[in-house]
Amino acid sequence: MAGVKSRGVEPLTMVMLVRYQGQIAGFVGATRYGLSPELAARPEDDGDRRRVVAVCEWALELRRISGREPGRPPGDRPQA
């Protein structure tokens, strides 16, 4: 349409679900992660909770240093 300016499309950030022992245990977003209510209620030194937190922190770090989604090949990002 004439006279209509289009704004640039912001890149999509995927939210990654973290599964542990067949259950959704948490999620990882662009800048933070969260645990399922069940894991969040456990003590901080619980082994399962610590494993899931480690995976979430690893995924955030990978996203930060590489700019790509964990578990995706570099050329496999959604196109805007």
CA–CA distance, 75 with 52 (Å, rounded to integer): 27
Across the range 46-50, mean pLDDT stands at 97
Reported as a single tens digit per residue, the pLDDT across 50-69 is: 999 999 999 889 888 877 66
Which percentage of the chain shows pLDDT scores above 90? 48
Q: Which one has a higher pLDDT value, 14 or 45?
A: 45
The values of phi and psi at residue 62, to 5°, are -60, -45
Q: Of the candidates 75, 72, 62, 73, which has an alpha carbon nearest to the alpha carbon of residue 30?
A: 62
